[in-house]
Structure 1
Amino acid sequence: MRSDLIARCGGLFRAGGLAALALLLTLTAASAERRVALVLGNAQYRHAAPLANPVRDAEAMAERLKKLDFEVVSGFDQTKPQTQATIAQFAKLVRGADIALFFYAGHGLQVSGKNYLLPVDAALEDETSLDFEAVSVDFVLHQMSRQTSIRLVFLGACRDNPLAEVLAKTAGVHGVSSGLAEIPIEKGGAGTLVAFATSPHQLADDRSGGHSPFTSALLKRIGESNVPITEAMNRVASDVLKATAGKQRPWINVSLKTDVVLHKVDLNAPLIVGEASAPQAEGGSGAGNTGAASASGQGDDQLALEVLRQKIPRLASDDPIFFDHPIDFGDPAIDGKSIAQLIKGKPLFSPVEGLDKSVWEDKHCDGCHEWDEVRLCEQAKNFASNDASVLRLQHPLGTRFKVALAKWAQGGCK
């Protein structure tokens, strides 16, 4: 995977020069942290009514994790033998990973405090069915704990489960419940986060169409820029509570020694202003600079920052910026359009300098960047907190769009 990335960026470097080299360095540095994920989603059960969202949830999560530099092993609507084969593939790949992640959506149950996930061919006609038809969550945790530094587990298996009722009634098995049991953190060891869609022993809202409330919130929050995973999960919990009118409260157990950030944005990335923008001392030696500020180097730094700020383009209007109101950018290509309109349209410039136009001209911005109002606000806050950052790297909608984003964030992303 890393070699493919380097080869692809190498081609961009030949075509696009220094900016592509900066991209290469950024991407290869990010990929130095090895991330491996197992994603399973089961909906089309043979001995129970099909579920609405699990496969859609799992497919969307698999795609999101790939964009966060995870090597993803996935399985959808799998039988027990197929699930075992998928877990075996994951177990081989995950050994020694920096971050191991497991996401499951589908039916699950607990029996006497132990949690099981159910493949689509599970029937659960008697007590021995658990051994031969179900998958123990502890078994998956064991596989992802082999020489890994960080383990992240997300379980959306708390739906109303008729197979749990069958097992309890026909087999006389005690302690059976659709809701999953709490997983002690020592099961994963130090450096582990376990998140359930709802509290232990409770049922989660599955809803019809789209995604479950838990997965919707997770998809929105897990890739936010420079946000530690613990804070992201706090936001997930808040989103789910709001979406379910307080009826569903995700449960999270954490034992992480350090902050885990899945989407790091370097605010000190290379600038696109060019070599000529760097302030030059008279005679090229800098000998003409005097004073205490020059001695400390802070004066030069401040001067360089002011030079950059002078290159930030101004918008044609000082009116407040709103997400869905037309904006006078001062750029005829985008004037009179709102942020909401522009992120659904086509890019004006290549997202990567030197990239052939045929690759990006027919793409839509929201497809490439998965922009929505919340994710865009996070990006806008970065521009607002560091105004010179709007000059870093080319933007598919131009620098004036980034200036407008910064102003939008300053107004509270309304």
Structure 2
Amino acid sequence: MFRRWGFDLIACFGSALRAIGLVTLSLLLTLTAANAERRVALVLGNSQYQHAPALTNPVRDAQAVADRLEKLDFEVVSGFDLTKLQTQTTIAQFAKQVRGADIALFFYAGHGLQVSGSNYLLPVDAALEDETSLDFEAVPVEFVLRQMSRETSIRLIFLDACRDNPLAEVLAKAAGVKGARSGLAEIPIENGGAGTLVAFSTSPNQVAYDGSSEHSPFTSALLAHIGASNVSITDAMNMVTAGVFKATAGKQRPWINVSLTSEVVLHRVDLNAPLIVGEATAAQQAEDGSDGRNATANSSGDNEAQLALNVLRQKIPKLASDDPIFFDRPVDFGDPKIDGKSIAELITGKPLFTPVEGLDKSVWQGKHCNGCHEWNEVRLCEQAKNFAANDISVLRLQHPLGTRFKVALAKWAQGGCK
């Protein structure tokens, strides 16, 4: 069924430790209490409509998004298959809770429509039988946005609303309401809307798919990328767009309107933070004859953490040569795809891998690296210094020229970026 708009190696810390029989390590991911962001989300999903055919995925979509947001430290106010009264009550609870939040987020999956450019969400008891129906049965999107804009710094809106909406046709024909149509209209970000991202599951006035799998194409892609480690929300939505476009064979392209004045990262990982050892179980402590708090245990934990780091470092690929790296001289990387080329030559060439995870080949393949990344010797040296300062960071994300290129950059920086 169509759905209206609406829209490598951090994990190996745990697996490396399991492989050598150690306790699980984790990155120090959370901020101190004094600096922690306050995040509040409203998640609504409607499937079981009383006056229209039921939708397959919206409630499942909303429940999965709510679960994901809770793991990203959001206070989640949620509701599924709600009537108009229940929807208003839930929004009222959200309005009280969201005031003063650093990040306010709204996700909706279900039927939606527009009338003369204004967008409405439809509770499960909406019938839309006459011209008064919108006032008494539907929920204006603008009403929700207004509630999440009070004393909040950042607002993120995700709308996955069904386009093949029979209720819109009822309203347009039986009630004679001009301009009533399935789907949602573009939501412009007016002056003063800085700090806002609005994401629709498809472009305005285009068809979106409900999907035949567990989730809609848009929600599936959103779940795959929202909260990815050290990925900004704008980059994540680029990946979502690419994922939906690919999953629907180019028939659906999410539409995003962004006015963010700062980078928003929902899952920030400090790669320079110390690794910490997971707490030993009571059984392990009894077996060791220790309560886990003495100096010996602490020393053992430190040794295990260092060992885990060493195991991870062993995964960093080696260059084929120990010779110094120079910007404009050929490098023996140990990768036949780039061997014998200099850094200067490679950054004016073409990428071997996608610069953004999930991006369709038609978007990046054949393009030139320096055109996409604005690479030059100075900018590249700054990036290389980060790799040199934190060697395991070369494993974090796939590079358009491969991991060995990042290893070479780190060595280049260690030699003074000559």
What amino acid does structure 2 have at the position aligned with 1:81?
L
Tell me the equivalent position of 1:89: 93
| Alpha-carbon offset, residue 225 of structure 1 | 0.6
The reply to whether residue 230 of structure 1 matches residue 234 of structure 2 is yes
Q: Which moved more, 1:51-60 or 1:201-210?
A: 201-210
Tell me the equivalent position of 2:249: 245
The reply to whether residue 123 of structure 1 matches residue 123 of structure 2 is no
Pair 93,307 (structure 1): closer, same or farther in 2 beyond 3 Å: closer
SS at match of 1:26: coil
Tell me the equivalent position of 2:64: 60
Distance in 2 (alpha carbons) for counterparts of 1:85 and 1:117 = 15
| Alpha-carbon offset, residue 127 of structure 1 | 1.1
**Matches for 1:251-400 after TM superposition, within 5 Å:** 251-271=255-275, 314=314, 386-388=390-392
Q: 1:216 aligns with which of 213, 220, 240?
A: 220
Q: Which has the higher contact order (CA 8 A, sep 6+)?
A: 2
The reply to whether residue 162 of structure 1 matches residue 166 of structure 2 is yes
| Alpha-carbon offset, residue 270 of structure 1 | 1.3
Tell me the equivalent position of 2:382: none
Q: 2:48 aligns with which of 37, 44, 48?
A: 44
| TM value normalised by structure 2 | 0.62
Residue-by-residue CA offset, 1:332-387 (whole Å, 9 max, x unaligned): xxxxxxxxxxxxxxxxxxxxxxxxxxxxxxxxxxxxxxxxx98xxxxxxx999954
The reply to whether residue 146 of structure 1 matches residue 158 of structure 2 is no
What amino acid does structure 2 have at the position aligned with 1:136?
P
SS at match of 2:190: helix
Tell me the equivalent position of 1:181: 185
Contact 2:27–2:275, Cα closer than 8 Å, also in 1: no
Tell me the equivalent position of 2:75: 71
The reply to whether residue 34 of structure 1 matches residue 54 of structure 2 is no
Contact 2:226–2:236, Cα closer than 8 Å, also in 1: yes
Tell me the equivalent position of 2:176: 172
Contact 2:272–2:390, Cα closer than 8 Å, also in 1: no
| Alpha-carbon offset, residue 30 of structure 1 | 9.0
Distance in 1 (alpha carbons) for counterparts of 2:178 and 2:140 = 17
Contact 1:277–1:307, Cα closer than 8 Å, also in 2: no
Residue-by-residue CA offset, 1:130-165 (whole Å, 9 max, x unaligned): 000000000000000000000000000143100001
Distance in 1 (alpha carbons) for counterparts of 2:191 and 2:133 = 24
Contact 1:309–1:387, Cα closer than 8 Å, also in 2: no
Contact 2:46–2:59, Cα closer than 8 Å, also in 1: yes
| Alpha-carbon offset, residue 190 of structure 1 | 1.1
The reply to whether residue 199 of structure 1 matches residue 165 of structure 2 is no
Pair 203,191 (structure 1): closer, same or farther in 2 beyond 3 Å: same
What amino acid does structure 1 have at the position aligned with 2:237?
M
Tell me the equivalent position of 2:108: 104
Contact 2:46–2:82, Cα closer than 8 Å, also in 1: yes
Pair 156,309 (structure 1): closer, same or farther in 2 beyond 3 Å: closer
Distance in 2 (alpha carbons) for counterparts of 1:242 and 1:194 = 21
Tell me the equivalent position of 2:118: 114
Residue-by-residue CA offset, 1:269-319 (whole Å, 9 max, x unaligned): 2135976999xxxxxxxxxxxxxxxxxxxxxxxxxxx9997675758xx9x
| Alpha-carbon offset, residue 32 of structure 1 | 1.6
Alignment root-mean-square deviation, CA: 3.7
Contact 1:52–1:209, Cα closer than 8 Å, also in 2: no
Number of residue pairs aligned between Structure 1 and Structure 2: 290
| TM value normalised by structure 1 | 0.63
Distance in 2 (alpha carbons) for counterparts of 1:277 and 1:96 = 40
Distance in 2 (alpha carbons) for counterparts of 1:112 and 1:153 = 21
What amino acid does structure 1 have at the position aligned with 2:236?
A
Contact 1:98–1:149, Cα closer than 8 Å, also in 2: yes
What amino acid does structure 2 have at the position aligned with 1:74?
S
Pair 21,209 (structure 1): closer, same or farther in 2 beyond 3 Å: closer
What amino acid does structure 2 have at the position aligned with 1:43?
S
Larger helix proportion of the pair: 1
Structure 1 segments of 4+ aligned residues over 4 angstroms from their partners? 19-23, 27-31, 272-278, 306-315, 382-390, 409-412
Tell me the equivalent position of 2:338: none
Tell me the equivalent position of 1:324: none
Q: Which consecutive residues of structure 1, in runs of 5 or more, have no partner in the other structure?
A: 1-18, 279-305, 319-372, 375-381, 391-401
Pair 21,76 (structure 1): closer, same or farther in 2 beyond 3 Å: closer
Tell me the equivalent position of 1:370: none
SS at match of 1:127: coil
Q: Which consecutive residues of structure 2, in runs of 5 or more, have no partner in the other structure?
A: 1-23, 278-297, 319-356, 359-385, 406-418
